[in-house]
Structure 1
Amino acid sequence: MADAAYDEIADWYEEKFLNARGTGDPIGIDAALRGLLGPGHGPCLEIGCGTGVHAAGVRELGWTPVGIDLSGGMLRHARSRLPVARAEAERLPIGDHSVPAVLAMMVHTDMPGYPAVLREVARVLRPGGVFVHVGVHPCFCGGFADRGDPGAVVIRPGYLDRYWTTESWTDRGIRDKVGATHTPLPALLHAFLDAGLTLDRFVEGGAPTPAVLAIRARRAGPSGAD
């Protein structure tokens, strides 16, 4: 279970992994969040908030961050950063059309049922509300990608195959510890459309080969409508 796996690494993630990343934004996660979410107000729900490391950036944009996650261990660290609840992303404890913004930050590979998560996103978003997905790049990250040489990423066969794996090119990251579900790019984009979300803007982050694909989508309806 993903929640149990993250419970086991929660302290390592908070105390070692985050510090090991150092300063700056080398693969463009924060830049994608700020550029796609933009300034606003009202609650911004983060699905799979982990230890809540993105809450400060959300507040700086004027939003009020709130988070849900399945891992009690991760939420133990998150509670000092934002209001949280332990809940499943596929069954959000949120009313229909009740929030103006939703985030999913680097979590879709932890969610084999991500299409169902996107349907929940569409359900809880207000008409015209914004959803920001920031995730590992489907084309260049996964068990099929060897990023040992940043200047020459090697893509092996397997990109088109849906699968879950703990195979990783590095043992200093997260995926060799908790695994990852891979979804090819067309299937990911179709999941947005099937959920009733309108694709709005895209950002790639990381160089020289992108490591992040970020998507802004909206729920159908006039912006700001209730």
Structure 2
Amino acid sequence: MATTAAYDEIADWYEHEFLGATDTGHADPLGLGDLITELLGEGTGTCLEIGCGTGVHAARVRELGRTPVGVDLSAGMLSHARARLPVARADAERLPFRDGSLPAVLAVMVHTDMPGYPAVLREVARVLSPGGVFVHIGVHPCFCGGFADRSDPERVVVRPGYLDGHWTTDSWTDQGLRDKVGATHRPLPELLHAFLDAGLTPERFAESGGATPLVLATRARSASGTAPGTGTGPGRR
């Protein structure tokens, strides 16, 4: 199993300082919870969150009637998540679930942490039940990355480099994550093609996070066969 020493080292900072720094009277400044509600929707059965981190989205998933479980590579992050949902330390490229066993899978702000995200999407397609829903919520590939200077939110400067898929620790701020753990950038067409290549069919899109959006979200489904909003019950390892 691969290690994620960077996130292990910053897990306490992430839980107590980074998440706290985003809570300035609005607990969810990027609207991630609203996107989960809009795109995941109400349902039953297990909802697997890949790259669950400290598990902060579990409460919203429960509000929708679903049962959250999480996987992450970082033992440090999972040490905080265990109080919020059942978790397992696992590689998202090798999910410990049977084929077709999950009605829903969620990924929130993690695809840039996963250099093998196309392989992750293939695993998502494998474990989803027929007609199962996958919700991807991630940093916006067009306006976030080492090529984007967001120091002035009213005048975001997109420099050359957007078309170059790469990993970098370049960041316009030293108060965030990317200067600490890096990020993998994929241009929008490459990201969307990865969904199609995995056998996932996008059906809804959304953006959030300001006039120049920070977040791009997608709801996709596996091959049809189950009515939307229904599932086959909890996945089994």
CA distance in 2, matches of 1:210, 1:34: 18
Structure 1 counterpart SS, 2:192: helix
Aligned-pair CA distance for 1:26: 2.2
TM-score under structure 2 length normalisation: 0.93
**Paired residue for 1:182, among 166, 181, 185?**
185
CA distance in 2, matches of 1:28, 1:140: 17
CA distance in 1, matches of 2:77, 2:19: 13
Contact 1:2 1:110 in 2 (8 A): no
Aligned-pair CA distance for 1:111: 0.3
- What's 2:4 paired with? 3
Unaligned runs of 5+ in 1: none
Contact 1:203 1:213 in 2 (8 A): yes
Contact 1:2 1:178 in 2 (8 A): no
- What's 1:19 paired with? 20
Indicate the larger mover: 21-30 or 80-89.
Answer: 21-30
Pick closer, same or farther for the CA change 1:131–1:113 going to 2, 3 Å.
Answer: same
In angstroms, what is the RMSD of aligned CA positions?
Answer: 1.1
- What's 2:152 paired with? 149
Pick closer, same or farther for the CA change 1:101–1:95 going to 2, 3 Å.
Answer: same
- What's 1:129 paired with? 132
Pick closer, same or farther for the CA change 1:2–1:138 going to 2, 3 Å.
Answer: farther
Q: How does 1:49-198 map to 2 (within 5 A)?
A: 49-198=52-201
CA distance in 1, matches of 2:38, 2:3: 30
CA distance in 1, matches of 2:107, 2:117: 10
Pick closer, same or farther for the CA change 1:180–1:2 going to 2, 3 Å.
Answer: farther
Residue identity in the other structure for 1:15? H
Aligned-pair CA distance for 1:31: 1.2
Aligned-pair CA distance for 1:2: 6.3
TM-score under structure 1 length normalisation: 0.98
Residue identity in the other structure for 1:150? P
Residue identity in the other structure for 1:65? P
Matched, 1:199 2:202: yes
CA distance in 1, matches of 2:3, 2:214: 22
Residue identity in the other structure for 2:212? T
- What's 1:38 paired with? 41
Unaligned runs of 5+ in 2: 233-237
Residue identity in the other structure for 1:67? G
Percent of residue pairs identical: 73
Contact 1:27 1:206 in 2 (8 A): yes
Structure 2 counterpart SS, 1:40: coil
Structure 2 counterpart SS, 1:150: coil
CA distance in 1, matches of 2:86, 2:210: 34
Aligned-pair CA distance for 1:207: 1.2
CA distance in 2, matches of 1:159, 1:30: 28
Aligned-pair CA distance for 1:63: 0.4
